[in-house]
Amino acid sequence: MKPMPGLLRGHRQHILTPLDDGRTRYESHFVIAGPLSIVVGGIFGGAMRKGFGDMTDGLEKRAESLRAVRD
């Protein structure tokens, strides 16, 4: 999403945290803000959530396939 100074801005953050059992926790946070955020969220919110969920699922499958090859 392209920022629109004063009207719309977005911030996305990905966090990878190693766990004691050799796995990794993945967190993804996305925030849109500004006067147009209600409109953008209303129009695109469902598609954005689906897209982020699909991306997370794909990342999980890829990480698991790489681990299977490694082990």
Instruction: Give me the tens of pLDDT residue by residue for the chain, a chain 71 residues long.
Output: 666 788 999 999 999 999 999 888 999 999 999 999 999 999 999 999 999 999 999 999 998 898 888 77
CA 31 to CA 40: how far, in whole Å? 12
Burial of 8 (0-12, 13-18, 19+ CB in 10 A): middle
φ/ψ of residue 25, rounded to 5: -90, 135
CA end-to-end span of the chain? 38
Q: What is the pLDDT of residue 15?
A: 94
